[in-house]
Structures are given as C-alpha cells and as structure tokens.
Amino acid sequence: MPQASSEYSDEKNCAIGKAADILKIFIPNNREMGTLEIARRLGLHKATASRILLTLVREDFLRQEPDTKKFKLGRKALIIGRSAIDSLNTGLVSLSQKYIDQLADELKETVLLKKVMEGKSIILYVAREKRAVRLIRSIGERMPILLSSGGRAILAFSKEKNIRMSEKMKQEMKKIRRDGYALNNEEGSLGITSIGVPVFNKKGKPVAAVVVTGPGGRLRVGANADIVEKIKETARMIGGEMTAKEIEE
C-alpha cells in the first residue's frame, strides 16, 4: 500500500467514508432521519455528523425537510442511483425484451432476465406482462448467486472458479450442465418453482439467464417438458441475436 500523502491523510479518506456511510444509511427505503439518529447509528459525534450532513445537503445529495429538520436522499443521490439502475438496461436487455415478453405471454408466468454482477445474481428485466408496479421495482434486486436458478444456471457454465461449493452443489452444477437448465423447487414455502436457462454470447460465455417462476403445480418439469424447451429456445434466440449484433456483454 502506498503511504498516505500529506495532502490526503487517512482522516480525509475517513471523512469520505463517513459521508458514504451516511448516504447508505437511507437504504432500503429512504426513511427520514434526524442528525442525532444518524450520528447514533453510525457511532459518530453529533458535531461530525452535522458537518458532513451540511456538506451533503449543500451538494444536493441529501435534502432537509424544512419542518422536521430531518434528512432524506436528495436530487443528486437520485441522479447517481437512476444512472446505476439505467445502466443495467444494456444492449443485451433491449434486444431480450421482446423474447422475454413473448415467453411470458405464452406461458402466462413471470419471466425474468438475470445476470451475475459483483458475485450476486441481479434482475435486469421483468416481462411486460408482469410489470405492474411491484415487479418493476424488483429490477436491480440482488440475491446470493447460489440462491436463484438464474445464478446457478450462469455459474454452472461459467469459468469462474472462485466460488466455494459443497460436494452436493458441485453435483448440482454437473446436473445443470448435463440438462442445460437449473431448477429450484425445494426452497421456500409458497410452492414456487423457478427454472433458469443460460444465455451464451458468441464466445460461449454465459452472460445472462432467462428465468421462469410460477406455482410448482403448473411448472412441474416432468408434467410439462415443453416449458424447458420453450425457455431454452428463448435463451437461444437471445444468444443468436447477440451474436448477430456483435453484442458480448
């Protein structure tokens, strides 16, 4: 590690870190908080918190409600947040939409496009059919990679070797590679089954997954082998169009 220069001491880095922690304290629902509460939650002196809050308000990252004097995320926090969300909407997503929507129409189930980002599986797109308010919000939602069938489908075909796995999960990965899809039907309690199929780019790298979720009774693979074939076909068409348009992601 390089030595901290005199111009940039640890103290200053620390101030930036504290400012970042203050912004993050409003996750997950941007609840209003006062200076004291913020200071207490982060273990900061009230004076330190006040000073940083002042900067964050002046820079428009937070706003202070005139009546309550409490803070919330502000205009620029929304700008960087929107930008991070919008940047999930890549070339891959725009070309996938029609295929995902089509599959949702056909199956009458929830259909998602997922990828792996920073070691988590993340939702990139939810079929239009199901995109009432609640599901739109799920774009950008992340889960541990091994939890979702989409994450498993991508991982099984990926060259990523850094994920620690039990013998059982390694067997599961082999099965996914053999069958070409990942199945999740033993978790949860609502009886939802989800099936994930990887999307490959021109180089054969699994860059995303098409995931169908719905009540287990309807999605039982044995009862309806067709479903898996339809998902695979959708994933192939997306991969094909990626290749044609030279999109790699």
Partner 1 sequence: MAKQNLNSIEKALHILMAFPPENDTMGTVEISKKLGLHKATASRILLVLTQKGLLRQDPETKKFSLGSAALDIGRAVLDSISGDIASIARYHIDQLRDELGETVVLEQFMVERTVVTHVAEGLHRVRFARGVGDHLPINASVGAKAILAFLDPEVAHDLIFAHDDFENLTPNTIIDPNRLFDQLGDIRKKGYATDHEETEYGISAVGVPVFNYEDLPVAAVVVVGMTEKINLEMEIILERLLKTARKISFSLMQG
Cα 5 off chain centre by: 37
CB nearer to partner 1: give 151 or 206: 151
CB nearer to partner 1: give 40 or 244: 40
CB nearer to partner 1: give 28 or 66: 28
Q: Got the DSSP string for 100-161?
A: HHHHHHHHTSEEEEEEEETTEEEEEEE-GGG-SHHHHTTTT-EEEGGGSHHHHHHHHHS---
- The strand pairing partners of 73, in sequence order, are 62
Tell me if 169 sits within 8 A of 146, measured CB to CB: yes
CB nearer to partner 1: give 138 or 224: 138
CB of 213 to partner 1, least distance (A): 5
Tell me if 149 sits within 8 A of 132, measured CB to CB: no
CB of 240 to partner 1, least distance (A): 26
CB nearer to partner 1: give 81 or 180: 81
Determine the Cα–Cα distance for residues 104 and 112; give it in Å rounded to an integer.
Answer: 9
What is the token pair recorded at 3? 């030595």
What is the token pair recorded at 52? 């940083």
Tell me if 124 sits within 8 A of 208, measured CB to CB: yes
Determine the Cα–Cα distance for residues 235 and 241; give it in Å rounded to an integer.
Answer: 10
CB of 156 to partner 1, least distance (A): 14
DSSP reduced 3-state for 92: helix
Determine the Cα–Cα distance for residues 23 and 179; give it in Å rounded to an integer.
Answer: 44
CB nearer to partner 1: give 33 or 242: 33
CB of 184 to partner 1, least distance (A): 8
CB of 23 to partner 1, least distance (A): 6
Sign of CA pseudo-dihedral 39, 40, 43, 47 = positive
CB nearer to partner 1: give 79 or 244: 79
CB of 132 to partner 1, least distance (A): 5
CB of 129 to partner 1, least distance (A): 7
